Every structure is written in C-alpha cells, then in structure tokens.
A and B are shown apart, each in its own frame.
Chain A
C-alpha cells in the first residue's frame, strides 16, 4: 500500500466521517475492509454472512463516528470491536434461524484447528498492543493459540469449545488457562 495508513490517518478519516464526509468513509473502507472482512469471516465462517457483517459495521461507523474519540481506542481496535460485535450478532441470528449452521461451523472450526501457521500480521495497520499480543501468541503452542482465539472470536464457552472441537473438557480448560498464564507473563514485559 502506498498510502500512509498510520493511526493518525485513520483517525482523521473517522473525524471526517463524523462530519458526514462520504469520501472519507470510502477511503476508510479501502484501507481497512480486507482486514475487517478477514476478521468477520473468521467469526461467522461464511462469505455471505461476513459481507453482511461488514456492511452493517460500516453503516454503524457512518452513524457513530462521532462517538469514536471518547473511546480512547486506537482506530483499528475500535473498528475491530464493531466488526466482531456485528459478526456475533449475525452468527446468533443465523444460528437461531437455521440449526444446520452449527454443522457448517463445526467443519470450519476443525479446519482452523488443523492450521498451525500463526496468522500473518499486517504491521502497518495493527495497533501497538496487537503487535505485542502477536509476539506473545507466537510463543504459545499452536493449539493453545487457536483455542484462545476461537473462544474470543466466536464467544464460545469451555463446553462449547470442547463439543465443537471434539476435545475433552478438561483439555480445553487446561489449554486456555495455561495459554492465558503465559500470555500474562509475556504481555507484562510489553507494558
């Protein structure tokens, strides 16, 4: 990307959006849509639902950009929270509408757990804290890392994780506890 995409630039765009500047919304979309769509895809597991979530998220940004400043969040963190929350809403709505979706999800989950490669980090867009978390996650066992990511991204309980991943409940609990302990020690060094 040739455009400078640091936090200041993103924050300027969000401020312009708060002033009803549609060109700024388009610019923000062009810079962040791939990243945010990737997140939504990971949460909802289907392209169609992820596109709906992305659409709802940007409409939310359009209507609520004025609230951004008060959150004190780095821009990508704010956008990430919006997208995750919209995605989870859609996931719950769809799960309520169609129970067969659980099955699709299970398959996606199993696939994700097989993939051991740590997710590549787009360092240009990530906040400082995300960079630190990325470093620390890299120190975990791949499976610990995946279970922790899934617990958060899909808002799953220990029991749901154990059912969907076909792992004993005790194993899930241990992986998460140990993973979080190691993250704590590691993140403390970045504080």
Chain B
C-alpha cells in the first residue's frame, strides 16, 4: 500500500513508531517505507522529536550530592588518561630518524660543529660536565623510584575494578589508586584489610576520600597474604581486632611480583 497517499495513516503510524508501540513486522515495514519516501520519513522524524519532549516534562528531583563527586572523579580520570596518551606520542615519532634530509642536514651540522669546537672547546668541556651531573641525578632518582613488589586489583561485586594497590617493601609503602566511580558517603570510611589464610582479617589502614593515597605498612603485614578486601565502616574506621563490621565492597588477590 502506498501509505504516503494517506496522510492520516502516515501520522498515526509515525506517532506509534515514535512512541515505541509500533513493534515487530509492522515497525520494520514502516521503517523501510520511511527510508524510501521523504514524506513518511519527515513525519517519523517530526513525531520522534515531539514525543521526545516527554523527556523534558518530568518532575524534577534532587540527586544526591555524591553523584557530582563521582562524575568529577571519572572526568579527572579521563583527563589524566588523555594527558598520558599525549605524553606518549612524541616517543612514537621516531620515524623522523629515517628521513634522508635530516641526515644530510646532520652531516653538514657535524662539519660545522667541528669548526665551532675548535673555537669553543672550553664551553664543550663545561657542557660535558653538566651532562655527567645529569646522569648522576638520573641514577639517584632511579634508586629512589619505588620498587613495586606486590600488586592487587580489587574488584566490586560486578567484577569491575575499583582499586589498584601496589606495595613497595623498600619504602614500606602501600599505594592506593581508586579506579572506579565509587565514593563513600561523608560519614563513612573505607578500610583496607589483609585476609591471611586461616586467621582473622587484619586492618592495613583507613582510607581518606582522595583518589590517590599511601599507607605506611610493614612487609610482614602483607607477606604471604593471598587477598585484600575493603569494607565500608563508620567514619574513621574500626579497630583492627574487631574485624570489618560493614559490608565488604571490594576484594581481590594480592600477587607477589616476580618479573
């Protein structure tokens, strides 16, 4: 049937299509006709836009304040990811080393540098000294870099990663990074527990609401502990000997790195 000759019917089908009550074969037939016939397509689009106005007519309600905190955290993570991706890009632009023009230019520069060197040898010496100072500084920093010996990713109930944890035995430092959207209420604290086999959970510390943080922990507290967990506790946490009192939100295996 050439439905575009029946404006009343086109309107009725377009309205039901937009509302979502036109289903199955009838919906597919209508969509096929709309793709073919501009008049029908126009009616469909007009009704889609009309019906979508229902979205704007709902009674407003106040979302909980932590929703914005969660959005803010996710956006921050997004920004950091982008920044890291951008920081990596220059290293990938090494293709330039294969450029013939560059090597020709470098050749000429080399000759020129020799000429200059003859004149400015004292300057070159100073430059060399600076460089060896830089190397020494890099070595010093490398030594200061944390040695990550233990790693753990704690997941939530839906197996989504919520917390990345690393342990550096050189500095007795446990580093935590929140990776999910979870944000505890202002009157609650997250508490981190070691779950030693055949023994009661031991508290490793109470978390602040920040996304990144570090806890001072001795290696003995995590050695041969196969798993970690995070529970939701009253603000400030609970004493270790009492064990977790609130729900366990995240948990995961603690892995000793051998690579």
Contact = CB atoms under 8 A, between A and B. Distances in A.
Contact of B57 (A62, A126, A181): A126
Interface residues of A, number: 58
Instruction: Say what secondary structure dominates the interface of chain A.
Output: helix
A84 B55 contact: yes
Contacts, number: 135
Contacts of B54: 133, 148-149, 152-153
B57 A187 contact: no
A83 B74 CA distance: 17
Interface stretch (B9-17, B138-146, B186-194): B9-17
B52 interface: yes
Interface size class of B (residues with CB under 8 A): 35 or more
Contacts of B16: 176, 180
A34 B21 contact: no
A137 B21 contact: no
Interface stretch (B31-39, B59-67, B114-122, B233-241): B59-67
B179 interface: no
A56 B87 CA distance: 27
Contact of B50 (A25, A47, A54, A129): A129
Interface in B1-50: 11-12, 15-16, 18-21, 23, 49-50
Interface in A16-51: 20, 22, 25-26, 29, 33-35, 37-39, 41-42, 47, 50-51
Interface of B: 11-12, 15-16, 18-21, 23, 49-64, 67-68, 70-72, 74-75, 78-79, 181
A37 B60 contact: yes
Contacts of A50: 63
Contact of A130 (B19, B57, B63, B74): B57
B63 A34 contact: yes
B15 A119 contact: no
Contacts of B11: 184
Given A59-B71, A184-B11, A34 B53 contact: no
B75 A59 contact: yes
B79 A119 contact: no
15 contacts: A29-B68, A38-B59, A38-B60, A51-B64, A54-B63, A80-B53, A80-B55, A81-B55, A119-B59, A125-B56, A148-B19, A151-B19, A153-B55, A176-B19, A177-B12
Contacts of B23: 157
